[in-house]
Structure 1
């Protein structure tokens, strides 16, 4: 019991130090055009070029404060030198929790231009918190994962990499995406909230099929074969990757669990992104 109490208290103390006295979990959020966000920063000064960062989008009914309280995910990111940015979605059902405007305009009018909102957060955080201008990943859980998928499809160059967890597309699926991406999709094998095959929500909405979504991504990345170029296992994650468009990447990671951000996801996602960044840097000719 004592160990169960010590771990959360240690995490909260570390987060309080890392997040500064501005926009942290227990502080008023930072305000930008169209909304607010919170942020946790690693210990120590920003490196040359600024902090690399992960912008993580909460699920339906979630909050930015709740994201920064996800010790299992946030602490590994901070320890590896990444800032964690937690935007707040628009109010849902009149409560503090929010929902993202991810469905296409043809399906449901968007209440906010989320791409512009995220861009304004990055601009503000670069000035206010010393973030890097280009070393960033957009990730999200459940409804946040849906938002990540749609933004990656519509504006693939907005972030260096994308990492949706338990959220893909809704039906009807997009017919095509704007360009190739670096994308790691993570999903629980026994997820019943967002099943791999999708499910109906009421009479109007239907969650899409994750495997159909991967086919869409293979098209965006100009893959000539549906067969993966490699399969592997890291910890509990069963992984399949496709090496297609040069300089880009596509991977699916399944784990034996349900609707959650699984333990080990943060390190797996960072290992994946950092490997891509190193390969990308290696292709730049010396001056």
Structure 2
């Protein structure tokens, strides 16, 4: 391993090990094991009954990188949330981790794995099993959309960051959800309109086409949002479609990243109406 890479890993570990919010599960510091994989967790000051944000990493990354995002983790733990960062799986003996969804490779049952993670965290740390949000960035955000579509009751809400569906996107989803989609206006990795990859073999979907599917799934009375807001370079559109069936789109000025303000935006939204269906 290159010296610079080693230094980078040690720097991330130093952040994790020095944080009072980090929780260990024995063995390697911060690693919690369930049957089909591992996760890391950061806890708020009062973990008992704390709501949970499970945040899925992007392609080629891992839960350790998520935990190294201090703006994300500390922003959520300061609001009283536990943050769980699972690891995706590798493909064909490679080292790059991702998630099993949509048109991509077969593998781990991600819905079952994430259910085990929530159950394990609740048993170990007394975190909530009902007030839960599945969030993720890039490839993790694609996973969020696909799991929300196939298992809408698995989490109380879903919050993808810079990712929707791939084409062809699902024709139907299993049921309504609360969805908080945020995206960078200047995102060139996952553009709002999607893009073609792999010499035409894969095509990222259009975010707005995905939102149309969600409006239909949620039984929204109108394509037009009921609320539009603009402040400090952040644009919001909100659809209120009934209990457990809200949608909010947040567009920010940046590119392919998790904006520093995301924890506050998401927590405000999640807490704006009852989260338990």
Shift of 1:109: 4.5
Provide the residue aligned with 1:12 in structure 2. Answer: 15
Q: Distance in 2 between matches of 1:95 and 1:110?
A: 15
> Does residue 219 of structure 1 match 2:201?
no
On the 8 A contact 2:162/2:182 being kept in 1, the answer is yes
Q: Secondary structure at the match of 1:179?
A: coil
Provide the residue aligned with 1:262 in structure 2. Answer: 259
State the number of aligned residues: 265
Which of 9, 26, 29 in structure 2 is aligned with 1:27? 29
On the 8 A contact 1:142/1:165 being kept in 2, the answer is yes
With the length of structure 1 as denominator, give the TM-score of the two structures.
0.86
Which of 159, 165, 168 in structure 1 is aligned with 2:155? 159
| Structure 2 gap segments, 5+ residues each | 1-10
Q: Distance in 1 between matches of 2:160 and 2:225?
A: 19
Q: Secondary structure at the match of 2:19?
A: helix
Q: Secondary structure at the match of 1:257?
A: coil
Counterparts of residues 1-287 of structure 1 (less than 5 Å):
12=15, 16-22=19-25, 27=29, 29-43=31-45, 45-47=46-48, 50-92=49-91, 94-103=93-102, 107-202=103-198, 203-277=200-274
Shift of 1:264: 0.2
On the 8 A contact 1:63/1:96 being kept in 2, the answer is no
Change (3 A) 1:17 1:232: same
Shift of 1:130: 1.4
| Structure 1 gap segments, 5+ residues each | 1-7, 282-287
Q: Distance in 2 between matches of 1:262 and 1:93?
A: 33
On the 8 A contact 2:133/2:157 being kept in 1, the answer is yes
Shift of 1:248: 2.2
CA deviation map 1:7-28 (0-9, x unaligned): x99x93786321233379x715
CA deviation map 1:108-160 (0-9, x unaligned): 45211100000010111111111111011000000000000000111111101
Change (3 A) 1:134 1:201: same
Shift of 1:231: 0.4
With the length of structure 2 as denominator, give the TM-score of the two structures.
0.89
Q: Secondary structure at the match of 2:20?
A: helix
Q: Distance in 1 between matches of 2:272 and 2:160?
A: 18
